[in-house]
Amino acid sequence: MTDLSQNTASEPRKHGGSLLEQTPRTKKRNAAEKRFRAYGIAAIAAGLVMLIILVTTIVGKGTGAFQQTFITLQVELLESKLDKKGERNIEDIKKVTTFGYAPIIKGAVAAAVEELGIETSLKPKKLAGILSKDAAAQLREYVLANPDQIGQTVEFRFLASSRVDGYMKGRVHRESIANDKNISPEQLDLVDALAAAGVLEKTFNLDFILGADASDARPEAAGMGVSMLGSLFMMFVVLALALPIGVAASIYLEEFAPQNWLTDMIEVNISNLAAVPSIVFGILGLAVFINYMHLPTSAPLVGGLVLTLMTLPTIIISTRASLKSVPPSIRDAALGVGASKMQAVFHHVLPLAAPGILTGTIIGLAQALGETAPLLLIGMVGFIASNAPETLADGLLSPNSAMPAQIYEWAKRADPAFYERAWGGIIILLIFLVTMNTLAVILRRRFERRW
Amino acid sequence: MNDMTLMEKTVDTQKIKIAAKDVNVYYGDSHAIKDVNVEIEDKTVTAFIGPSGCGKSTFLRCLNRMNDTIDICKVKGDILLDGEDIYDKRVDPVQLRAKVGMVFQKPNPFPKSIYDNVAYGPRIHGLAKNKAELDEIVEKSLRRGAIWDEVKDRLDAPGTGLSGGQQQRLCIARAVATEPEVLLMDEPCSALDPIATAQVEELIDELRSRYSVVIVTHSMQQAARVSQKTAFFHLGNLVEFGLTGQIFTNPEDPRTESYITGRIG
């Protein structure tokens, strides 16, 4: 553009100049080209730097969530506390709440401290404070499952409390706990001693990936498992609805529909829908599926329906693009030998467009998997604290959460231990998204046809 | 091109296969074909010549209703195939296209094996009862397409992997596999080199014994070589239609003469 505008003032080119010297004009043009390349490289470099910062931050803050501090203790399951009548009647044993298990745990910690010869001024209650509040529940669950073990001494691996876990991961310091009622310097001394003795150790925590969410008081027990299940249910709904509807709509629009103002309008509206903010779909889902159709809140079915609405335009647009990219000569060839329009589409056009359709679908699914806003509106942030088999989240209509919604929930909570888990959740979510996108790229490369 | 030999080309009069009466074609507002009347004989090669954009391909595509796929295209007038109006409401274009096969300008084999390319038409029309019959049809068609010897050892190879000339002959084999009665060819040699062109032209001459062949071509030499009858189109009008020898040596219309001598085009 600039070159052309400069042309108006130029004089006819003089003949006889040397090719070995650059004219001022050429120099200027080359300099402009160099500058443009520099801008491009700078832009890419900026992008890469951002990406590196993002990845290092996520990995740096999130990897901690995959490790957890455990304390291994020998617990004597006292009959006097758990089954006073001694009849091993399961109903009687069930009457003992987790409070009833507290003395047993206190005793177990005190016994371990004594056995290891650790000197401490802490009372048994404070001693047990280094354990998670989940420990009593874990113990009770075990006893209810194995009532015959009452009276025996059994080895247990208890979660440490989130403060102790934070101390082991370097998140909690002796200076930072000055005003913390949940932990004291003496308890940290005890932790150091137990760690030195090998009773307390930090290991990989599968429960973070597969476990259920936990209440505010015990971040150490919270996991992604149930919300992962919720996301899985939703993706199932999205795939089952969006793929057939999207593909059918695109085939009709691209191959069969007459070109008139109505189809033009549909086309424009589909493109517009693709750009509609996802929260709008959320409020639409709330109004239609929940308030009008009275489907249950927090259900993966509703979440899946809302995400289907959101994903449909993406799938339709990419499917139409890949149908369009099949050369018309293929359709002509099929029609020319007497195939019907449908035969031409299903025998020839669709197989050639399939890789593109598949790619679009996977990308649409990945988009839906990472979507949070519409889920918040339809209440896909259910708090489910138990895992299979007694979990509530066992189907399309039962309450559940979703991975991004779970991350949002954790990030909202006060305890910094939850913050760490939010980052860990992001890592899991990103692994899913990267895997899906990679799969899309591989499929496209693998089945792409060139004419 | 030797004009004198053309005059001596023997032409037997055949029965009329396709008769077009007062055909008008509109693309939206533009009037692409104006009052065309033409009679295409059986077992004859009829060539449509004329400058680009004169409507010869459009008219060709009317003969098997390929223009149906274009929304804005409207056809008026009668086109009779063996006395039946092909634009009658009762006519299913799918059945028509099985009778009137087509070969396109650019070779367009399906991205499938050579065998499947040829077998597709017979399969969808149910022409073969079993695999053996289908094999037979495929072989016969490939022989008629004059490509059997070149591909018989690699029927499973993709049709798109053949050379341009082979691809076009494969497309001709595919078109004849459905046993059509008329074969329409839309500039079948324009994407081919001279050797492949010669092979296809030879093939067209052989096809004449079984089918009525209509060929659109830009090359007047080709029209003179392969056809018995020639129609000259100009700006949507059928200017002149007659024996090929007549058209090329002694055209009646001054426009035809200008075109074949290279003054308009």
Query: Terminus-to-terminus CA distance in chain A, angstroms?
Result: 35
Q: What pLDDT was estimated at residue B265?
A: 52
Q: How confident is the model at residue B215 (pLDDT cuts 50, 70, 90)?
A: very high
- Evaluate whether residue B144 is within a structural domain: yes
| Rounded average pLDDT over B46-70 | 88
B236 Cβ partners below 8 Å, 6+ apart?
B31, B32, B33, B34, B54, B55
Distance CA A330, CA A323 (A): 11
CA-based nearest residue to B44, from B214, B221, B198 = B214
B contacts of A342 (beta carbons < 8 Å): none
Do A340 and B94 count as a contact with CB atoms less than 8 A apart? yes
Tens digit of each residue's pLDDT (9 = 90 or more) over A210-268? 888 888 888 888 999 889 989 999 999 999 999 999 999 999 999 998 888 999 999 99
Task: Please say whether the beta carbons of B244 and B76 come within 8 A.
Answer: no
- pLDDT at residue B232 greater than cutoff 80: yes
B102 Cβ partners below 8 Å, 6+ apart?
A332, A336, B64, B66, B175, B183, B184, B185, B186
In chain A, whose CA is at the least distance from the CA of B174?
Answer: A337
Q: Hunting for tokens 């499938």 — which residue is that?
A: B112
Q: Hunting for tokens 């004989």 — which residue is that?
A: B41
**Would an 8 Å CB–CB cutoff place B172 in contact with chain A?**
no
- Evaluate whether residue B9 is within a structural domain: yes
Number of Cβ atoms within 10 Å of the Cβ of A50: 10
B85 dihedral zone (left: phi>0; alpha: psi -120 to 50; beta): beta
Q: Residues of chain B with pLDDT > 90: what percent?
A: 45
Q: What pLDDT was estimated at residue A9?
A: 57
- Evaluate whether residue B69 is within a structural domain: yes
Q: Which of A331, A337, A349, A451 to probe by mutation at the B interface, max B CB count within 10 Å? A: A337
B contacts of A329 (beta carbons < 8 Å): 104, 106, 108
Q: Which candidate from A258, A327, A337 shows the least CB-CB separation from B121?
A: A337
- What order do you get walking across the sheet with A67-76 strand by strand? A153-159, A67-76, A200-204
| Rounded average pLDDT over B223-250 | 91
Q: Which of B73, B113, B124, B137 to probe by mutation at the A interface, max A CB count within 10 Å? A: B124
Peptide bond into A219 cis (omega under 30): no
Q: Which candidate from A259, A332, A338 shows the least CB-CB separation from B104?
A: A332
Q: Which residues of chain A have pLDDT under 70?
A: 1-10, 387-391, 393, 449-451
Tens digit of each residue's pLDDT (9 = 90 or more) over B119-176? 999 999 988 889 999 999 999 999 988 899 899 999 999 999 998 889 999 999 999 9
Report how many domains make up chain B. Answer: 1
Q: Residues of chain B with pLDDT > 70: what percent?
A: 94
Q: How confident is the model at residue B216 (pLDDT cuts 50, 70, 90)?
A: very high
- Evaluate whether residue B132 is within a structural domain: yes
Q: Which candidate from B108, B121, B160 shows the least CB-CB separation from A332?
A: B108
Distance CA A200, CA A165 (A): 10
Number of helices (H) and strands (E), helices first, in chain B?
Answer: 11, 10
Distance CA A381, CA A409 (A): 7
Q: Hunting for tokens 């099929």 — which residue is that?
A: A334
Do A330 and B97 count as a contact with CB atoms less than 8 A apart? no
Residues β-bridged to residue B33: B25
- Evaluate whether residue B66 is within a structural domain: yes
Q: What pLDDT was estimated at residue A396?
A: 85
Q: What pLDDT was estimated at residue A96?
A: 84
DSSP A40-51: HHHHHHHHHHHH
- Evaluate whether residue B265 is within a structural domain: no
Q: What pLDDT was estimated at residue B190?
A: 85
Q: What pLDDT was estimated at residue B12?
A: 60
Residues β-bridged to residue A202: A69
For residue B191, what is the enclosing H or E element? none
CATH of the domain at B184: 3.40.50.300
Residues β-bridged to residue B72: none
Distance CA A206, CA A211 (A): 8
Tens digit of each residue's pLDDT (9 = 90 or more) over B13-42? 678 889 999 999 998 888 988 999 999 999
Q: What are phi and psi for residue A71, nearest 5 degrees?
A: -120, 125
Query: What is the predicted ipTM?
Result: 0.85
In chain B, whose CA is at the least distance from the CA of A336?
Answer: B102
Handedness of CA B12, B18, B19, B22 (dihedral sign): negative
Distance CA B107, CA B169 (A): 8
Residues β-bridged to residue B234: B237
Handedness of CA A157, A158, A164, A169 (dihedral sign): positive
For residue B95, what is the enclosing H or E element? helix B93-99
Number of Cβ atoms within 10 Å of the Cβ of A156: 18
Token duo for residue B97: 């296209």
Task: Please say whether the beta carbons of A338 and B121 come within 8 A.
Answer: yes
Question: With a CB-CB cutoff of 8 Å, which residues 92-121 of chain B face chain A?
Answer: 94-95, 97-98, 101-104, 106, 108-111, 120-121
A39 Cβ partners below 8 Å, 6+ apart?
none
Q: Hunting for tokens 């400069």 — which residue is that?
A: A6
Tens digit of each residue's pLDDT (9 = 90 or more) over A364-421? 999 999 999 999 999 888 888 776 666 676 788 888 889 999 999 999 998 888 999 9
Q: What pLDDT was estimated at residue A12?
A: 77
Q: Which candidate from A330, A331, A338 shows the least CB-CB separation from B121?
A: A338
**Would an 8 Å CB–CB cutoff place A261 in contact with chain B?**
no
Q: What pLDDT was estimated at residue B3?
A: 47
| Structural domain harbouring B125 | 2-260
Task: Please say whether the beta carbons of A317 and A299 come within 8 A.
Answer: no
- Evaluate whether residue B75 is within a structural domain: yes
Q: What pLDDT was estimated at residue B4?
A: 45
Q: What pLDDT was estimated at residue B1?
A: 44
